[in-house]
Structure 1
């Protein structure tokens, strides 16, 4: 009589284990699953759907994961320069070149210095990013705004989140036709709100933290005929 196998993770096909890993965070995969057995160790090295979130990582975990990870297997990166993770962004990009992340689709740069952002924007243009979030500290200069404008124009970006200040949006969207579908910004003027929608014909959702209504003129006043942008759904 044939021996009946008891089902376990070890008997599952590799493809199914990959699907399971998609629901686990990188800490669980590399700090726990990775150490169970030789088979799981091999699977963690070939799995190509890693989402790196270092926003709350300890220094030890950060270095351990960076040591084990293969850049070509990463699809998402979150790095942060908050009080609990000072200098993390510069450290991360001293260990890796962004071009190594050939499958990267999402990049979040939290509380990044504008000078560091300028360097990264130069390098990420060849990447096939679909999502970019960059919340900066300090005042943005014209170089930063110009690089953001160029990146939005020339990349495959579909979703963008930036903590803009009033009158900065106009410089980013002054002369581009963007393929953005989803946009989240900080502060903008009423004129800039219209400028965004004129230059983003494919935009589906727009989230604004604060819109200044002080620049409504006679030709674009609340009492005039409304302007509709039918591309938006929210």
Structure 2
């Protein structure tokens, strides 16, 4: 192993880099770079494992290098792309080997994963738990384990909140659904919270904001309104209960409609409560008095109506632009119009229509196109914007495909993923053309075997493939020819089309699997999922 740039970095600096990466990314990117870095890997004791949609050889490498006592976090994600991943991991490691485990996250409904909950209470350093929605059946099986673990937790992320007693140790709480009338009881059980992330459904006739207990230790609040109307009056009363709040993020996902005049008077009389002017919630002058003490304030408001760009005027004062440097944008060209702070809520997934224009912003220095990550094309239009950081291109049409127009998109500097309706476009590409940066390919329908051969030539470094396919021979061609292929989904045009296909069938018929059987598969009536190891 030759020396590398990282050999000149202090151990502490390399460790700080590792803090931002999952364990499989660290081992794949840094193992065997140099003897110095290998020693740094051995000495690092804050690995976080995420069992998600990773490549099979990265999983194998992670399992090879992982020392359980150096792992502090495990996340389990249910994913059809990686058949039997969790089972394979726990066949290699016992959860009790992770003696320094602090955090355990379940984003799955797999009962075998939930069984690990019964053992977590035996780990001395355990303090953070993430749970999905727990069905009554699962709660009967594993509820006692959760109840035993809750009092020691410092962090909880869940949809349910089965709180039977105060949790004085709780510092960080995320609740993904809560009715406003339950908020008082919920927060009264955890008065020492430092951070709260909660999604609320509101009822205007309740006084939920007044009944919330004082949260004197709260420094960070993320509030999402999933349903119902939030008024400035209630927002003001709510924030008064958090005198030490420093960081606030607000999302209103229920589109706000702004009716004014007599209609509001009618609503006010019928509900027997005071209903203020709705536009206050999107008025920067009103917000100024509520959030002036904060270090950070971000918001995203979905709007039912399309408003003009003057909506930004109240956010152009010196308070917003100079004192706080909080910048706001308005977008009325996507599926619903919205008002939001940037860069926090700059659109990352856009529909690139013919009339697309970059959202209006209170800062002329911010180019919002640079934040776009996913580009959807309902029609193939000329590329007129600088989407320099787009990683995924989704071509939603097979009409009027012109090679001169599609090539600029395929040349985007960060493009890694390409999705198209069918393979007709491939007939226009020369066999000398290579798009080696494309690592993920999705094709709704593969028409003929020749197109599969074109895929192998034009996209030779594909690692992830999802494709509609109608014959077994083409399936084998793609597996054997695409040497970097690791995650594969074959979709049948008709249910139960390949009833004869099994794990053994792949071993017998694929030259790649005859040589090495390091793969798993999941076969159902509509899809085949393969997770394949790749020799590096």
TM range (shorter): 0.7 to 0.9
Match of 2:42 in 1: 45
Match of 2:89 in 1: 92
Match of 1:230 in 2: 214
User: Of 150, 153, 165, which residue of structure 2 is paired with 1:152?
Assistant: 150
Q: Which has the larger radius of gyration?
A: 2
With normalisation by structure 2, the TM-score equals 0.36
2:6 equivalent to 1:9? yes
Report if aligned partners of 1:14, 1:43 keep a CA contact under 8 Å in 2: yes
How many angstroms does 1:70 deviate by?
0.7
Q: Distance in 2 between matches of 1:61 and 1:134?
A: 26
Label 1:210 to 1:15 Cα distance change in 2 as closer, same or farther (>3 A): closer
Structure 2 stretches of 5 or more lacking a match? 222-536
Structure 1 segments of 4 or more deviating over 6 A?
none
Which structure is higher in helix share? Answer: 1
Report if aligned partners of 1:188, 1:212 keep a CA contact under 8 Å in 2: no
Q: Distance in 1 between matches of 2:81 and 2:144?
A: 31
2:107 equivalent to 1:123? no
Report if aligned partners of 1:75, 1:104 keep a CA contact under 8 Å in 2: yes
Label 1:90 to 1:193 Cα distance change in 2 as closer, same or farther (>3 A): farther
User: What SS class does the counterpart of residue 226 from structure 1 fall into?
Assistant: helix
Match of 2:159 in 1: 163
Q: 58-67 or 191-200, which moves further after superposition?
A: 191-200
Greater relative contact order, per chain length (Cα 8 Å cut-off, separation 6+): 1
2:62 equivalent to 1:72? no
User: Of 104, 108, 119, which residue of structure 1 is paired with 2:105?
Assistant: 108
Over aligned residues, Cα RMSD in angstroms? 3.2
With normalisation by structure 1, the TM-score equals 0.74
Structure 1 stretches of 5 or more lacking a match? 1-6, 214-220
Q: Distance in 1 between matches of 2:209 and 2:31?
A: 62
2:191 equivalent to 1:201? yes
Q: 23-32 or 48-57, which moves further after superposition?
A: 23-32
Q: Distance in 2 between matches of 1:72 and 1:108?
A: 18
Q: Deviations over 1:103-153 (max 9, x none)?
A: 222222211324631x21211113222322122575543343332222102
How many angstroms does 1:65 deviate by?
0.7
Q: Deviations over 1:174-199 (max 9, x none)?
A: 23444212222233445543332222
